[in-house]
Structure 1
Amino acid sequence: MKFYNFYINSPIFIQNFLCTLYGYKESKVRFNKDFDRKLKFLNESQYYSLDNIKIYKENKLKDILLGCTNHPFYRDKFSSISEKAILNNPFQILKDFPVLTKEDILKFDMKALVNENNQIYSTSGTTGKALTICKDKESIAMQWAIWIRHRNRFSIKFKDISVNFTGKPIVSENQKSPPFWRYNAAQKQYLVSSKHINEQNIESIVEFLNSIYPKFYSGYPSIISDLSRLAISKGLVLKNKPDVIFCGAENLLDYQAESISKWTNSIITDQYGLTEGNCNFSKCEHGFYHEDFEFCHIELIDQEVLEDGSIRGKLIGTAFYNHTFPLIRYNTGDIAIFAPSNFKCECGRESQVIFSVEGRQDDYLITPDGRRVMRCGYLFRDTFEALEVQIVQEKYGEVIFNAVLSGLGNRSDFEKKVSTLFKEYISEDMSLIFKYPDFIQKSSTGKFKAILNRINK
């Protein structure tokens, strides 16, 4: 806190220096001496055959499970499992292992594992329970190599100039005039403060974006969508367009992708990854998620087979790296849909294809007939009257739409569009209430929740 107070009260050129210094320290961990070797391997291994993927996973599972037998958190859980059994059939050992939850991990003292080769990371706590996890440098470097590989698929090179739209408090909330951005020279990265993307500042932010030549944008889709919708509402043109926009940390909703595409005309892609490091999958050039099998093994539990043969279930994952605190069959809290086993992606990769992530297990609307509706983004595809919309359900039979208006069109048009689609696709028997706040509260790190279910909470 002392350092942050020093940072936020420093002149802007000092803040830029400190952002660069922080970026340099991050780079030393993320992009270590073996980074180039890791990235070269990953760019080749993504085209492994199914047989080679299985062999690779089997070897990584043996390694991580054997390490668990002497780990303070897992020792008792593995007391009845022999080394021979792990070596003979690691997939069966994994299948029989109980699912690990956040509550299980919260009972363990992570600080006891800290040394010079690892460090503590924290999740944002969007479920109400912040989690700390101790990660070793090797797992951090491998996870970043996975993420850089995703960029390589779209012809983005390491350390290309970029803009990151961040929820981190890099600019004081008291600052009322530009620049609302900072520069991390170590990673050639401009950082734009999401808290300052509003109607009063949008012109200066777009003017700044038109003064630089980034290869890509990155950030939460809700933030980049806010930027795009505001700019469209003001008739502001993006002249220096990025080649690609990489979204992450939130579900990319249809209406968000539509507004981003309309303003930037850029390729939009995303990947799914967690601070915990036990699940990762990234989109290919054809728009499908592929399991990053070199880094983790993902599964679905409580499965439901859909009409097209795809499978919906609770997403769990096992990390192949981070021997400091391995995560075995850890429940992500998200619902995902896997492609059928006979699905072949046109990109040629044979790794598991994931059609979609539907969101957290508690992010849904409950209809009068008992259905749970998790995806509602299509309700807002043609609603440029609103910059962003959050759906809240506090009681049965009623839904609240919190919409931040853009200044385009009028409320009645917005309400008519949403109401029509809601009754057509979700339910005709629910009361719809529309509210118009000046802003929608985000999480501490700037994450946006599209649906808030407050029933029985």
Structure 2
Amino acid sequence: MKSHLPEQLYLYSPVWLQNVLVSIYGNIERERRYGGEHSVFLKHLRGNKFLTLQENNTLQKKLLTATLDNATRNVPAYQHLRSDQPDLSLFPLLDRQQVANNTKQFISSKFDVSNLIALYTGGSSASPLKVYISKMTRQKTYSFWQLFYDNMGFNIGDRKASFVGRKLQEPDNNLPPFWRYNIADKQLLFSSYHMEEANLPLYVDKLNEFKPKVVEGYPFSVYRIAEHILNNSLTLSFTPAGISTSSENFSKHHRKVIESAFQCRVFDQYGSAESVVFASECAHGTMHIEPEYGILEVLTETGEITPTGKGELIATTLLNDAMPLIRYRIGDLGVITEESCLCGRGTSVLKELHGKVGAVVINEGRQAPTAAIAIAFEYLEGIKNAQIIQNEPNAVIVKLVKKSDFNPKSEEFMIWELRKMLGESLKINVEYVNDIPPEPNGKYKMVVQNVYQ
């Protein structure tokens, strides 16, 4: 169970000390992310950026062979598939619940678990999952992030404004400032939980003062700022090189509003905490699937698995050798093509991503988007699935499906997290159910918003 203590100590500290703590943590993370193999691997990725599709396919086959060989030799869940030439087609489809229920079986014996990094994800289905990666995999992952940032001419150390799910102050504390500064990365972190209409002018003023080169965050947090700018005929005193979005699906309307307000392009990114796929938009709006990060396939309606087409997305990591997930059902629907792009890159393309537009939970003007709500469910012990439903203002129903090893303290932790995001006045009714049925499209919906459409 995750401890509340470090976060509580931070929240009880004065603002000046919170800025110091944010900067100290930022400096530690900077070393973890950009040390070791990061620079060398980034140089490698930049050198391979404009390989042809055929060259990338050849490179992928080589990486896949190494991945499957490692899996069948060293990963208990795959050792029964051992052969001199393991083939991807021999691997069965793998779903989230299988991994969640048998985590240790998917960890390579080449690694000491105590030396690995544990990543927690609630995902859009709110089914808690823990995935392990090595320190090197983390560094390489941030090389892919920098390759993405290259499209905006942004480098680590340039000014960045971030609208993400971090708790910078108590939701009930409605006194500015609603931001904290990470001096190590020249990063201004904005609270996504205090974006009430009355506070938005302060957000815009601070952005104008800070003048970030890039604005990043959950699309619906950035959209809220953009909508306020346009509705009040405001003008920014700076023009970002780009808006970096991730973690939520959003519509063309939302993109248009954001781009109109900030007068720059939105660059969206698609990935997962399971470390199986990394895709991102170039300057021409094409979502390129990074060939050295993972392989993305399509499970069609007829049950066939194909490299292109429309259907459920199936991912195989080429990067995470500590816990390689192979033919993993990532839980999204989409369209994959091999069309050419004006940017010159020869990769497979994620042409469409058919996910739900991210819902939000609202309490007294405070909003928590789907990606932030997932945090409350990430550390639930003994929970198979979860869903939060808002049928009336300032109140929610949380449905939980228990497993045999359910820990009652999980409920307390979840309630603490939700109220931390949305305020103590939020009424929370927890219901334990036998099952949470999927939507008609087969996907599970973590947030059901029936009040604020």
TM tier, smaller? 0.7 to 0.9
Tell me the secondary structure at the aligned position of residue 238 of structure 1.
coil
1:42 paired residue number: 45
Counterpart of 2:228, as a letter, is L
Q: Choose from 241, 244, 248 the match for 1:243.
A: 241
Tell me the secondary structure at the aligned position of residue 335 of structure 1.
strand
TM-score normalized by structure 1?
Answer: 0.75
Q: Is the 8 A contact 1:114 1:120 kept in 2?
A: no
Q: CA RMSD in A?
A: 3.3
- Aligned counterparts of 1:391 and 1:208: Cα–Cα separation in 2: 24
1:374 paired residue number: none
TM superposition shift of 1:135: 0.9
Q: Is the 8 A contact 2:163 2:221 kept in 1?
A: yes
Q: Choose from 222, 225, 229 the match for 1:224.
A: 222
- Aligned counterparts of 1:334 and 1:210: Cα–Cα separation in 2: 37
TM superposition shift of 1:116: 5.2
Larger Rg: 1
Tell me the secondary structure at the aligned position of residue 78 of structure 1.
helix
Tell me the secondary structure at the aligned position of residue 266 of structure 2.
strand
TM superposition shift of 1:316: 1.1
Q: Choose from 316, 338, 343 the match for 1:318.
A: 316
1:293 paired with 2:286, answer no
Q: Choose from 350, 357, 362 the match for 2:346.
A: 350
Tell me the secondary structure at the aligned position of residue 70 of structure 2.
helix
1:85 paired with 2:91, answer no
- Aligned counterparts of 1:302 and 1:60: Cα–Cα separation in 2: 25
Change (3 A) 1:300 1:283: same
1:18 paired residue number: 21
Counterpart of 2:85, as a letter, is A
Q: Choose from 190, 193, 196 the match for 2:191.
A: 193
Q: Is the 8 A contact 1:336 1:356 kept in 2?
A: yes
Counterpart of 1:68, as a letter, is A
Counterpart of 1:164, as a letter, is S
Superposition map of 1:243-282 within 5 A: 243-282=241-280
Structure 2 unpaired stretches of 5+? 366-390, 399-416, 422-444
Q: Is the 8 A contact 2:215 2:243 kept in 1?
A: yes
- Aligned counterparts of 1:440 and 1:261: Cα–Cα separation in 2: 33
TM-score normalized by structure 2?
Answer: 0.75
Tell me the secondary structure at the aligned position of residue 278 of structure 1.
coil
Superposition map of 1:145-164 within 5 A: 145-164=143-162
1:104 paired residue number: 98
Change (3 A) 1:73 1:103: farther
- Aligned counterparts of 1:27 and 1:271: Cα–Cα separation in 2: 21
How many residue pairs get aligned? The number is: 375
Change (3 A) 1:107 1:160: same
Q: Is the 8 A contact 1:110 1:134 kept in 2?
A: no
Counterpart of 2:82, as a letter, is I
Counterpart of 2:210, as a letter, is I
TM superposition shift of 1:303: 5.2
Tell me the secondary structure at the aligned position of residue 147 of structure 1.
helix
- Aligned counterparts of 1:288 and 1:304: Cα–Cα separation in 2: 27
1:126 paired residue number: 124
Counterpart of 2:28, as a letter, is K
Q: Is the 8 A contact 2:359 2:449 kept in 1?
A: no
Higher relative CO (Cα under 8 Å, sequence separation at least 6) belongs to 2
Q: Is the 8 A contact 2:126 2:446 kept in 1?
A: no
Q: Deviations over 1:388-440 (max 9, x none)?
A: x9599xxxxxxxxx9x99xxxxxxxxxxxxxxxxxxxxxxxxxxxxx995899
Superposition map of 1:54-69 within 5 A: 54-69=57-72
Q: Deviations over 1:235-259 (max 9, x none)?
A: 4332223221000011132121122
Counterpart of 1:39, as a letter, is L
Counterpart of 1:52, as a letter, is E
Tell me the secondary structure at the aligned position of residue 174 of structure 1.
coil
- Aligned counterparts of 1:211 and 1:50: Cα–Cα separation in 2: 44
Change (3 A) 1:238 1:114: farther
- Aligned counterparts of 1:192 and 1:213: Cα–Cα separation in 2: 14
TM superposition shift of 1:143: 1.2
TM superposition shift of 1:234: 3.5
Q: Is the 8 A contact 2:100 2:128 kept in 1?
A: no
Counterpart of 1:59, as a letter, is K
Q: Is the 8 A contact 2:36 2:136 kept in 1?
A: no
- Aligned counterparts of 2:23 and 2:397: Cα–Cα separation in 1: 29
Tell me the secondary structure at the aligned position of residue 195 of structure 1.
coil
- Aligned counterparts of 1:121 and 1:390: Cα–Cα separation in 2: 24
2:410 paired residue number: none
1:117 paired residue number: 115
- Aligned counterparts of 1:450 and 1:117: Cα–Cα separation in 2: 32
Tell me the secondary structure at the aligned position of residue 211 of structure 1.
helix
- Aligned counterparts of 1:26 and 1:51: Cα–Cα separation in 2: 37
- Aligned counterparts of 2:179 and 2:254: Cα–Cα separation in 1: 23
Change (3 A) 1:118 1:237: same
Tell me the secondary structure at the aligned position of residue 73 of structure 2.
coil
Q: Deviations over 1:341-400 (max 9, x none)?
A: 4x22111111101211111xxx5xxxxxxxxxxxxx7xxxxxxxxxxx9599xxxxxxxx
Which has the larger displacement, 35-44 or 193-202? 35-44
Counterpart of 1:7, as a letter, is Y
Q: Deviations over 1:171-222 (max 9, x none)?
A: 2223222110001111111100000111121111111111112100000101
